Amino acid sequence: GPVLHVTGARPNFPKAAPVYRALAERGVSQQLVHTGQHYGQQMFDVFLRQLDLPRPDVDLGVGSGSHAAQTAAVLTAVEDLLLERRPALLVVYGDVNSTVAAALAAAKLGIRVAHVEAGLRSFDRTMPEEINRVVTDRIADTLFATSPDAVAHLGNEGIAADRIHLVGNPMIDTLLAHLDRFDAAKARAEHGLDGPYVVATLHRPANVDHPADAAELVHAVHAVADQADVVLPLHPRGRERLRSVGLFTHPRVRVLEPLGYVEFLGLVRGAEAVVTDSGGVQEETTVLGVPCLTIRPNTERPVTITHGTNRLVTRATLAAEVEQRLRAGRPRTWPTPPLWDGHAGQRIADVIVREI
Ligand code: UD1
Ligand code: UDP
């Protein structure tokens, strides 16, 4: 049978694209399955177009829902598909509900599962993604890690070393492959920015779901806007939740629809700093050398702090941290995590070819 890749949400596409391409170069028969967790022009179509991914062979169309409802819908739809296609291997990416559901469906049918971006741990079970990561790694047969800390976590959890492969970061393959297209000057012109500016993204339930927290967050972002223009492409979850607390009224906060991959990273490339609660954005800013302030009490991506530009902040410390970054300016040189070199997809494909 073919290799079957499952994507569900926005951050899955830049992880899957280099693996898909490297397997195609090796002549491997493969199919792309989208669960439909994310959908529409700005959360789905634009990524296929910009990242040269083919239209998925199947879109399961599961859409939005509670954790149980969404996970269950992916679980049943993927089971049907696996019975029909009988793949040699199922490849899942990251930590979204689609990832854990697809992995579980395959594991129960005795179909081998490979997990790309295995072993990341925030050790914070209040994050839905942490539960998805722990469960997916537990049932995966082959585990691809982006960083040494992830390899260590998997080892500590009793996973045999010969199933764990430190391969680097496929999301960074995609970043480096498209670097020439990230046009900061064009982004400035498009958004009418002429001074220093900050890009922000906010969508984590812990930040936006509770009205009192969300209101404090809006307040913290307003304090940033007192210092620089803030461009805030809002994920649908952030948009819904933050609207309920009166959204942003500061004249220097520009709230936008989610941006395409190329437009977003063009904007990030020219920013003085990024304020985020995203996982992937912590990694991308690390490689671009753009200071990143992560509004979270923890991160499952510690190499972005030890080998990158990332710092953890709170709503209370955010404005002062931004002020420091604006004063210090962008770093001239910065370290990059080991193996984040643009060849992770190739390394993953080499292992997969050996195993199928
Ligand atoms: C999901 C992931 C999260 C990831 C994020 C990336 C889980 C548990 N969460 O969060 O890890 O960081 O994607 O972007 O899998 N909606 C739309 N359009 C869409 C998708 C969602 O309008 O294309 C709205 C719906 O109202 C939905 C809400 O956003 O209820 C949340 O969507 P959901 O897929 O449940 O989780 P995300 O917050 O997107
Ligand atoms: N991204 C994008 N447009 C946006 C915001 C983010 O293309 O408006 C990209 C970003 O560059 C990264 C991915 O989406 O490649 C990160 O996804 P997200 O923050 O939604 O999820 P997380 O990484 O937190 O799971």
Q: CA geometry: angle at 214 spanning 210 and 215, to 5°?
A: 120
In ligand 1, the atom with minimum distance to the C-alpha of 280 is: 12
**For the whole prediction, is pTM greater than 0.95?**
yes
Q: Is the pLDDT reported for residue 110 higher than 80?
A: yes
Here the ipTM equals 0.99
In this prediction, residue 242 carries a pLDDT of 78
Per-residue 3-state assignment (H helix, E strand, C coil) for 24-52: HHCCCCEEEEECCCCCCHHHHHHHHHHCC
Q: 6 and 90 in contact (C-beta within 8 Å)?
A: yes
- CA 37 to ligand 1 center in whole angstroms: 7
Q: What sign does the dihedral 51-340-6-350 (CA atoms) show? A: positive
**Could you tell me if the CB of 264 is within 6 A of ligand 2?**
yes
Q: Does the pLDDT at position 243 exceed 80?
A: no
Atom of ligand 1 nearest to the CA of 278: 12
Question: Among all ligands shown, which has an atom nearest to the Cα of 257?
Answer: 2
44-92 confidence digits (pLDDT tens): 999 999 998 999 999 999 999 999 999 999 999 999 999 999 999 999 9
Q: How far apart are CA 346 and CA 356, in angstroms?
A: 16
pLDDT digits (tens, 9 = 90+) for 288-310: 999 999 999 999 999 999 999 99
Check pocket membership of 122 for ligand 2, CB cut-off 6 A.
Answer: no
pLDDT at 331: 87
- Looking at the annotation, which residues are catalytic? 203
In degrees rounded to 5, what are phi and psi of residue 289? 75, 25
Average pLDDT over residues 142-146: 99
> For residue 99, which ligand has an atom nearest its CA?
1
Ligand nearest to the Cα of 43, by number: 1
Q: What pLDDT does residue 60 have?
A: 98
Instruction: Supply the pLDDT for residue 244.
Output: 65
> What was the pLDDT predicted at 245?
61
Scanning the chain, the segments in alpha helix (DSSP H) are 13-25, 46-50, 67-85, 97-108, 128-139, 148-156, 170-177, 184-191, 205-208, 211-225, 236-243, 261-269, 280-288, 303-306, 318-328, 344-355
Q: Whose CA is nearest to atom 17 of ligand 1?
A: 236
> What is the residue with the minimal CA distance to atom 24 of ligand 2?
278
Q: Write down the mean pLDDT value for the chain.
A: 96
Residue 112's pLDDT band (cuts 50, 70, 90):
very high
Q: Whose CA is nearest to atom 14 of ligand 2?
A: 11
* Sign of the C-alpha dihedral computed for residues 187, 188, 189 and 192 taken in this order: positive
Instruction: Give the ligand 2 atom nearest the CA of 268.
Output: 11
- Quote the pLDDT of residue 23: 98
Percent of the chain with pLDDT over 70: 99
Confidence of residue 93 (pLDDT cuts 50, 70, 90): very high
For the sheet with 292-295, list strands across it: 253-256, 229-233, 197-201, 273-276, 292-295, 310-313
pLDDT at 248: 86
Residues within a 6 A CB radius of ligand 1: 9-11, 37-40, 43, 64, 70, 95-97, 128-129, 203, 235-237, 240
Hey, which of 6, 12, 37, 70 would you mutate to test ligand 1's pocket, going by the most ligand atoms within 8 Å of its Cβ?
Answer: 37
CA dihedral 27, 43, 113, 157 (to 10 degrees): 130
Mean local confidence (pLDDT), 249-255: 92
**For residues 232-241, average pLDDT:** 86
